[in-house]
Structure 1
Amino acid sequence: MKLVKKFRPPVEPRSFGSGLIVGCFLVSMTFVMLSRNDISMDHLSILNCLPSSSSSSGDAAPMSSTVEEDTRIRLLGRTKQIDASFINPPDGKGEEGISSSCESNSSDCKTENDTQVLNGPSTGDFNESDGGAPERKPMCDFSDYRLNICDMEGDIRISGKNLSSVMLVTHTGSRERNESWQIRPYPRKYDRSAMAKVRPLNLTSLRRHQEAPECSVNHTVPGILFSTGGHCGNCFHDFADVLVPLFQTAGPFHGQVQFIITNQQGWWMHKYRPYLTKLSSYDVIDYDNDERVHCFDHVVVGLRAERDLMIDPSRAPRGHSIMDFVKLTRSAYSLARERAWAAGGPPGTKPRLLFIARGGTRRFVNLDEVVGMAREVGYEVVATEPDFIDVARFAHVVNSCDVMVGVHGAGLTNFLFLPTNAIVIQVVPLGNLDWIATNFYGDPAMGMNLRYLQYDISVEESTLTELYPRDHRVFQDPESIHKEGWLRLGDVYLKQQNVRLNVNRFRPVLEKALQLLHERN
């Protein structure tokens, strides 16, 4: 009260002026302090779903409860945007099993596949102990709906068998916050069934004074650490989830890169060794069974990817496209034919047509009849099942053909080996599978400079008629089956169904393919 009375009138003009200066100074300082808080929070709000807790070192200034609440609101808004991108990927279609949760009001930020931000990066603008130098960028990017990737530079130490960790030893001041992440390096993070089969990796940044394992091997080239777990073993996923993404990630290094593989399986390595040796000049490191500490200056953990079996040149390093991967494939397996059959060639030559003869589900039950019709149309016909292990042998069979016919399924992935301008005919079973067929095989085939024809079977051509009455919802309301989830859909329309082609109905499709060969070659 005494202070208040001091400024009550009447007062000396000089005393009033002094008080006014002091008051203005106090107000200014308060405004500056509040502004600094707001600036700090603005930087927090643009981070990708990171916790609002203080630094692990305990050096960060405490935030008021009001500021903490504001952070949670802003982070929650970002979280909802990320979740929506998981459920509705950029191509506009959701996929069964997609899920994510990011609890911005807890100390962790997780998805249900156990990808975690255990302790995010520092949020300040500058590191005071480094003389105002900008802090490093976060070493991991979780923003993509399909994958998480960590691109790290510095003193990196990798220990697989015993510690399952990747450590970045930093050389910054003590005020910079540590980072701690856990990811599964496989580019299908929305698919819980796949990610459950991928070993989680712990990524941490350690300040120089903290203990770090001593290097056993020092590498002079960058490293790429990825998994061959997940759905590997299925031809489609081998290419869509690993080989094409690996090409995108490793291609810019021109072979001067070291692969470190977790969930490694001997048969998989043997099967795709031609790709691995084309993309890296070094023997692969078995992450799960190597006891040494490997040290690098640059490591990428995870693989870059976009849509399945497709590459966006505008996003790919050096503008690579899927055709660059096709060229790599032809080189890896010494595939001689670059273009499909040309009319006017040597007398008596016919275009070759390949039927992918599935041995399990979705097989042609009247294959012999269909092959006879194809020969009548004017093709030399080959009917065979893909070889699970000997990729090279089957790649040469496919490359020798000009038209490939197959029921929707992983076997169609072998169109990678076809020559340019060849024709892919996808036979689509019952079940409203048009989007799946086009997205996973039709669009990629056209992206590889192949021509694409689609044949949707009729009810009479499905063996489901032998299992269900004609008025069953399997025929009358396929969308009701879709709503029951991917497992139910797959069981009915993919596992239970085979195809009995109506040769008279299918014949015009083969005639159209022959016409296209004459027109374009």
Structure 2
Amino acid sequence: MHDPIFSKSFTRTQRHRFGAIFLCFIIALAISKPPLHLLSPIGDAVKTQLSINNVGNMLLVDDGGRANIKPIADVNPAEYLQLPSDDAQNKRTSTTISAYSDNGIKMEKKHAIICKNSNYCKIEGDVRIDAKSSTILVATSFANMTKSWCVIEPYPRRGTSRVKKWRVATLEKNDISLPICTQHHTHPSLLFSMGGFTGNYFHDFADILFPLHLTSSQIQKKVQFLATDYKQWWINKFDKILNKLTKHNILDIDRETSQVHCYNELQIGLKFHKELLTLNSSPSMHTFKVLLREAYSLKRERVIRDINVPMPRLMIIDRKRTRVLTNEHQVLRIARKLGFEVVEGVATDLSRFAEAVNSCDVLVGVHGAGLTNMVFLPDNAVVIQVIPFGGVDGFARLDFGNPAKGMNLRYLEYKIRENESSLSRKYSRDHPILRKPELYRNWDQVWSIYLNQQNVSVDLRRFKGILVEALTLLYYK
């Protein structure tokens, strides 16, 4: 709304300059805030020794190879923070650039820049992308408007060391420094980073694929994806999903240094609520699962069980390096005695593995990225997460327990006790690692002790009870 007091107190030029300065001040506040969204223990990375080729070739079901991946800051697992909702951020950081005539009448909006935080902006108007300087320029016809700018890191998790930053700036159309468009596009665009923790299977879905669905759903396949920190192996790996999200080829925007791509609408960064969750009813994880079924031609939409139909199918996600279920064979023997058909849980081809998971009624796994494959389960299937000993419970439920409901899955968890952990054979019974795990709260300790050094051997009698509960959920609830 137009404020007449504001109009009378300043000249038109002063008002333009005041508005631009105020925009930068608001966005600077958002950017200068410390990171709110901390990292998940599923191999989250800022510092990693892995080569790109090694990351690209990792097994889909085993994330043990990411044992040396650590976040930059110490993290207390009991204080795992989330980004505030889009609505909450929008109230603090959103702004729209408009102009007013001398008599205080609002003119037609020429462009708009709405930034929810330092990881996401939506821009409408004359948008020009100068890859050479990693700058997104918004050309304005407002006379005497002061140039304003901000920096965006187009990845959901803040403060990562492997995400290229982009500058968003406004510039008058008659400014000689404004680059000339070499390619005009009529379709909307979305610029996002393939950096960050890409290569960890959980983060591939939680940080990129599902947020891409959330961010582009309203414009559906019309949108063109512009990728910074481009990785061709990652596109090859998830091409069937990406082809469902856009009909255009994904542009490696960092290499377009000889071109100036121009759009009328650009989103930079990805919408993100919580791990594999959304606060809105549409789009949702359910719509994303429908998209995945279409992408991989998965046959089963939901589990339909009748007591007269034998052999529900069960898969245990295989792990090779850390958090290994060392008595897996005994667990499978019990499962077979209970009436389960056991499905092999090892694969290197995503399409075939998605089909195998979709054929199952129950998916079992020790906490780790392999449990991300629950996205391929049919509705009403059961997920059993085995939670290692130590202060891992909060992370485990955040990553897989909470999202299960949004996927229309039933969730059970099995908490490892001291005597079921390999740590009980490595440390004396009175050692604080066993007696007082709450003393080991920062990330390096949680990672190196409770995630990277621990294997588990479940109590067969106690775990049989979990399998019986899973059967009950399948047949009677």
Structure 1 residues 119-268: aligned runs within 5 Å: 126=100, 128=102, 133=107, 139-143=113-117, 148-160=119-131, 162-174=132-144, 176-189=145-158, 192=159, 195-210=160-175, 211-268=177-234
Q: Are 2:311 and 1:353 equivalent residues in the alignment? A: no
1:34/1:121 Cα in 2 relative to 1: closer, same or farther (>3 Å)?
closer
Q: 3-state SS of the aligned residue for 2:236? A: helix
Partner in structure 1 of residue 45 of structure 2: none
Question: Residue 391 of structure 1: CA displacement?
Answer: 1.4
The answer to which structure, 1 or 2, has the higher relative contact order (CA under 8 A, 6+ apart) is 2
1:93/1:154 Cα in 2 relative to 1: closer, same or farther (>3 Å)?
farther
Q: How far apart, CA to CA, are the structure 1 residues paired with 2:219 and 2:404?
A: 27
Structure 1 residues 37-56: aligned runs within 5 Å: 50=25
Equivalent pair of 2:98/2:110 in contact (CA under 8 Å): no
Question: Residue 481 of structure 1: CA displacement?
Answer: 0.4
Amino acid at match of 2:151: Q
Structure 1 residues 463-474: aligned runs within 5 Å: 463-474=422-433
Q: How far apart, CA to CA, are the structure 2 residues paired with 1:278 and 1:331?
A: 8
1:405/1:297 Cα in 2 relative to 1: closer, same or farther (>3 Å)?
same
1:125/1:280 Cα in 2 relative to 1: closer, same or farther (>3 Å)?
closer
Q: How far apart, CA to CA, are the structure 2 residues paired with 1:506 and 1:296?
A: 56
Q: How far apart, CA to CA, are the structure 2 residues paired with 1:438 and 1:473?
A: 24
Equivalent pair of 1:254/1:279 in contact (CA under 8 Å): yes
Partner in structure 1 of residue 420 of structure 2: 461
Q: 3-state SS of the aligned residue for 1:288? A: helix
Question: Residue 212 of structure 1: CA displacement?
Answer: 2.0
Unaligned runs of 5+ in 1: 1-31, 53-74, 99-116
Q: 3-state SS of the aligned residue for 2:218? A: helix
**TM-score scaled by length of structure 2:** 0.80
Amino acid at match of 1:232: T
Note the alpha carbon deviations across 1:116-165, whole angstroms, 9 max, x for none.
Answer: x9xx989998465997537777624244xxx62111111111132x2222
1:298/1:33 Cα in 2 relative to 1: closer, same or farther (>3 Å)?
closer
Q: Are 2:461 and 1:500 equivalent residues in the alignment? A: no
Q: 3-state SS of the aligned residue for 1:515? A: helix
Q: How far apart, CA to CA, are the structure 2 residues paired with 1:152 and 1:129?
A: 28
Amino acid at match of 1:513: A
Q: Please point out which of 318, 332, 341 is paired with 1:371.
A: 332
Equivalent pair of 1:341/1:351 in contact (CA under 8 Å): no
Unaligned runs of 5+ in 2: 40-76, 84-92
Partner in structure 2 of residue 270 of structure 1: 236
Q: How far apart, CA to CA, are the structure 1 residues paired with 2:419 and 2:283?
A: 44
Partner in structure 2 of residue 55 of structure 1: none
Question: Residue 428 of structure 1: CA displacement?
Answer: 0.3
Q: 3-state SS of the aligned residue for 1:226? A: strand
Equivalent pair of 1:164/1:202 in contact (CA under 8 Å): yes
Q: Are 2:393 and 1:434 equivalent residues in the alignment? A: yes
Q: How far apart, CA to CA, are the structure 1 residues paired with 2:370 and 2:248?
A: 31
Note the alpha carbon deviations across 1:213-259, whole angstroms, 9 max, x for none.
Answer: 22222111000000111001111101111111100111111211111
Amino acid at match of 1:154: G
Q: 3-state SS of the aligned residue for 1:133? A: coil
Cα RMSD between the aligned structures? 3.4
Q: 3-state SS of the aligned residue for 1:517? A: helix
Partner in structure 1 of residue 286 of structure 2: 323
Q: How far apart, CA to CA, are the structure 1 residues paired with 2:226 and 2:35?
A: 33
Q: Are 2:378 and 1:419 equivalent residues in the alignment? A: yes
Partner in structure 1 of residue 305 of structure 2: 342
Question: Residue 433 of structure 1: CA displacement?
Answer: 1.8
Note the alpha carbon deviations across 1:405-439, whole angstroms, 9 max, x for none.
Answer: 00011111100000000000000001122221111
1:35/1:215 Cα in 2 relative to 1: closer, same or farther (>3 Å)?
closer
Partner in structure 2 of residue 11 of structure 1: none
Q: How far apart, CA to CA, are the structure 2 residues paired with 1:301 and 1:488?
A: 35
Equivalent pair of 2:272/2:278 in contact (CA under 8 Å): yes
Q: How far apart, CA to CA, are the structure 2 residues paired with 1:451 and 1:363?
A: 24
Equivalent pair of 2:80/2:395 in contact (CA under 8 Å): no
Q: Are 2:468 and 1:519 equivalent residues in the alignment? A: no
Question: Residue 502 of structure 1: CA displacement?
Answer: 1.5
Equivalent pair of 1:356/1:385 in contact (CA under 8 Å): yes
Equivalent pair of 1:129/1:173 in contact (CA under 8 Å): no
Partner in structure 2 of residue 296 of structure 1: 263
Equivalent pair of 2:95/2:115 in contact (CA under 8 Å): no
Equivalent pair of 1:386/1:411 in contact (CA under 8 Å): no
1:507/1:121 Cα in 2 relative to 1: closer, same or farther (>3 Å)?
closer
Q: What percent identity do the matched residue pairs reach?
A: 37
Q: How far apart, CA to CA, are the structure 2 residues paired with 1:491 and 1:97?
A: 23
Question: Residue 94 of structure 1: CA displacement?
Answer: 3.6
Structure 1 residues 446-457: aligned runs within 5 Å: 446-457=405-416
Q: How far apart, CA to CA, are the structure 2 residues paired with 1:510 and 1:79?
A: 48
1:127/1:429 Cα in 2 relative to 1: closer, same or farther (>3 Å)?
farther
Amino acid at match of 2:164: R
Equivalent pair of 2:127/2:138 in contact (CA under 8 Å): yes
Note the alpha carbon deviations across 1:59-82, whole angstroms, 9 max, x for none.
Answer: xxxxxxxxxxxxxxxx98x999x6
Bigger Rg, which one: 1
1:123/1:300 Cα in 2 relative to 1: closer, same or farther (>3 Å)?
closer
1:242/1:47 Cα in 2 relative to 1: closer, same or farther (>3 Å)?
farther
Question: Residue 267 of structure 1: CA displacement?
Answer: 1.2
Partner in structure 1 of residue 72 of structure 2: none
Q: Please point out which of 463, 466, 472 is paired with 1:509.
A: 466
Q: 3-state SS of the aligned residue for 2:207? A: helix
1:399/1:124 Cα in 2 relative to 1: closer, same or farther (>3 Å)?
closer
Q: 3-state SS of the aligned residue for 1:421? A: coil
